[in-house]
Amino acid sequence: MLRRLVLRQALSTSRRYLSERSSRPPLLSKCASFTSQSQDQSTTFIEHSENDRDSPPAPVNMSIDRSGLYNPTEHSHEPTSDSELIKHLKSIIKFRGGPISVAEYMEEVLTNPKAGFYINRDVFGAEGDFITSPEVSQMFGEMIGVWTMCLWEQMGQPNKVNLVELGPGRGTLMADLLRGASKFKNFTDALNIRMVECSPTLQKLQYSNLKCMDEDSTSENGIKRTISMLAGAPISWHASLDQVPSGCPTIILAHEFYDALPVHQFQRASHGWCEKMIDVTDDSSFRFVLSPRPTPASLYLMKRCKWASSEEIEKLNHIEVCPTAMDLTHAIAKRISSDGGGALIIDYGLNGVVSDSLQAIRKHKFVDILDDPGTADLSAYVDFASIRQSAEEASENVSVHGPITQSQFLGSLGINFRVEALLQNCTEEQADSLRTGYWRLVGEGEAPFWEGPDEQVPIGMGTRYLAMSIVNKRQGVPAPFE
């Protein structure tokens, strides 16, 4: 009953909020790209033999140009067209003396501190490579705000709560959440916002979009605070969840974070499951090879297979496992168990073993995973069943709810009321943008009302994206997973 009251109160906040803010302009949607799980990557797999590297080099005929001996020109043995990241990846493979896992490749490509895909630029929106739900419509962040306030209510309205966002992108979700919640002073006064972000460029963008200011004076413990003026709440940045101080009730949001975590890929071969690795060919390009023997990640494969039925595994020739996701979920569950609160994970994925989903997107188009690494996003389907298992294994004090579809999640939280309220006070152009955004968030397939160019038809993310929640059992069942 109390929960329903909070929900209603939060929805009425959303309505009040309408008159104070105009809608954001329309943006291209990334989900238009997600037309199938498995893309044809035209990949050739080569069974890797450890002898490849040990065989003696073929004899080479050399002629020597002596004219430059007194003033030799600078040269490199690497092809000059290689980017810093490609050189780095090749040097890891060279000095390791063998291929690297797909997970190591993915981690370097996305988050290498110097040249990773996310590190030096804004990759979102029409000018970037893809678009996410918070960028599609303000309603997404507002609905996550409703969910967060409901959970805070269920937690007994603690007067201090860590609101952690993992991988906040441009900070748009958090900005919409805070704007929507700004009328609920008790809630916003309790917030300590913690952004877990590896990209310095995105951290700066988040600082700006959340209207942050550094306080002049230092606080009691001698630390200078930064405040988001959207809610008057302190905000800080952390490289990982481990670095967020514990001991305070915690709410964790992870939207499109898990899909960026590095996956290991395994392929069924005549002699059992082999890990797919990445090597460099003689002509200096990347290629996939199969490991000849079990790799350390094979332990995670075995663990994942134990959580599945033999029928589920038997029909697969490829399996992806994400140890980082398992470990992160373990840490989330432990944190929620000790500090109270809950987590919300929204991503595209499956409630079961994921087969062969890793994909690369550049400028809103699929490209080969091995093509010009660092210039395209790499992402993989999230294995929600393994998140459930990891959380339940980590602590008896947490319960796991869902996954339910994004459409069910947003619908039950009242997105229909919100869009109707927004539509009552907007221009024709804003109304078109709202309808398109609404469809993208909750629809399935192509929007039936679309009259614009075929190639821009909005594609619904409503059933492809799933929502799951992990909460401390003290909090009961979180809305809207009842």
Ligand X SMILES: C[S@@+](CC[C@H](N)C(=O)[O-])C[C@H]1O[C@@H](n2cnc3c(N)ncnc32)[C@H](O)[C@@H]1O
Q: Look up residue 328 and give its two tokens.
A: 């992160």
Which of 111, 236 has the CB closer to ligand X?
A: 111
260 binds ligand X (CB under 6 A): yes
Pick 291 or 324: Cβ nearer ligand X? 324
Applying CB under 6 A, among 26, 99, 128, 134 the residue interacting with ligand X is 134
Provide the mask over 79-118, with x wherever binding to ligand X is found by CB under 6 A and - wherever it is not.
-------------------------------xx------x
Sign of CA dihedral 400, 404, 405, 408: negative
Nearer to ligand X by Cβ, of 116 and 402: the residue is: 116
> What whole-number distance in Å separates Cα of residue 273 and Cα of residue 291?
9
Residue 90 CB, shortest distance to ligand X, in Å, is 23
Question: How far apart are CB 197 and ligand X at their closest, in Å?
Answer: 5
According to CB under 6 A, which one of 26, 99, 167, 437 is a site residue for ligand X? Answer: 167
Question: Of the candidates 168, 349, 374, 462, which one interacts with ligand X according to CB under 6 A?
Answer: 168
Looking at beta carbons, which residue is closest to ligand X? 167
User: If you ran DSSP here, which 8-state letter would residue 130 be given?
Assistant: B
Residue with Cβ nearer ligand X (255 or 401): 255
The reply on whether position 129 binds ligand X by CB under 6 A is: no
Residues 477-480: contacts with CB under 8 Å, at least 24 apart: 477/399, 477/401, 478/147, 478/150, 478/151, 478/154, 478/342, 478/401, 479/3, 479/7, 479/147, 479/150, 479/151, 479/154, 479/412, 479/413, 480/147, 480/404, 480/408, 480/409, 480/412, 480/413
Looking at 26, 169, 180, 341, which residue binds ligand X (CB under 6 A)? 169
Distances (CA, A) of 313 to 330, 355, 382, 389, 435: 24, 10, 17, 17, 41
Residue 464 binds ligand X (CB under 6 A): no
Nearer to ligand X, 99 or 168 (CB): 168
Q: Is 257 near ligand X (CB under 6 A)?
A: yes
Angle at 208 (CA atoms; ends 206, 226), nearest 5 degrees: 85
Q: CB under 6 A: which stretch of 8-16, 64-72, 164-172, 382-390 binds ligand X?
A: 164-172
Strand arrangement, sheet containing 365-367:
365-367, 359-362, 377-379
Regarding 357 and contact with ligand X (CB under 6 A), the answer is no
Site mask for ligand X (CB under 6 A), range 7-46, x = bound: ----------------------------------------
Cβ(174)–Cβ(165) below 8 Å: yes
Q: Tell me which H or E stretch contains 411.
A: helix 406-413
Q: How far apart, in whole angstroms, are the C-alpha atoms of residue 253 and residue 124? A: 19
Dihedral angle at the C-alpha atoms of 126, 130, 135, 137, nearest 10 degrees? Answer: 90
Is residue 256 part of the contact set for ligand X (CB under 6 A)?
Answer: yes
Which residues, including other chains, have CB under 8 Å from residue 81's CB and lie 6 or more apart?
A: none
Q: For residues 187 and 148, what is the distance between their CA atoms, to the nearest angstrom? A: 10
132 in contact with ligand X (CB under 6 A): yes
- 329 scored as a contact of ligand X (CB under 6 A): no
CB closer to ligand X out of 173 and 181: 173
The pair of three-digit structure tokens given for residue 294, joined into one six-digit string? 């079990």
If we measure between CA atoms, which residue out of 239, 209, 212 comes closest to residue 226? 212
Q: Count of alpha carbons within 13 Å of 482, Cβ hemisphere only?
A: 12
Contact between 374 and ligand X by CB under 6 A: the answer reads: no
347 binds ligand X (CB under 6 A): no
Stretch binding ligand X (CB under 6 A), from 131-139, 335-343, 353-361, 382-390: 131-139
Comparing CB distances to ligand X, the nearer of 260 and 319 is 260
Q: From residue 346, how far is each of 86, 163, 461 by CA, in Å? A: 32, 16, 11
Instruction: For residue 193, give both structure tokens.
Output: 């916002």
CB of 303 to ligand X, least distance (A): 21
Of the two residues 132 and 265, which places its CB atom closer to ligand X in the complex? Answer: 132
Among residues 129, 142, 197, 356, the one that binds ligand X under rule CB under 6 A: 197
C-alpha triplet 238, 243, 246: angle, nearest 5°: 120
Does the footprint of ligand X cover residue 196 (CB under 6 A)? yes
Query: CB under 6 A: which stretch of 80-88, 127-135, 182-190, 274-282 binds ligand X?
Result: 127-135
Q: Which of 23, 33, 112, 199 binds ligand X (CB under 6 A)?
A: 199
Q: Which is nearer to ligand X, 108 or 256 (CB)?
A: 256
Beta-carbon count within 10 A of 178 CB: 25
Size of the site for ligand X (CB under 6 A): 19
Q: Nearest distance from residue 240's CB to ligand X, in Å?
A: 6
Q: Which residues of 284-311 are buried (b: 16+ CB within 10 A; e: fewer)?
A: eebbbbbbbeebebbebbebbbebbeee
Could you say whether residue 202 binds ligand X (CB under 6 A)? yes
- Minimum Å gap between C-beta 337 and ligand X is 22
Q: Applying CB under 6 A, which residues contact ligand X?
A: 110-111, 118, 132, 134-135, 167-169, 173, 196-199, 202, 255-257, 260
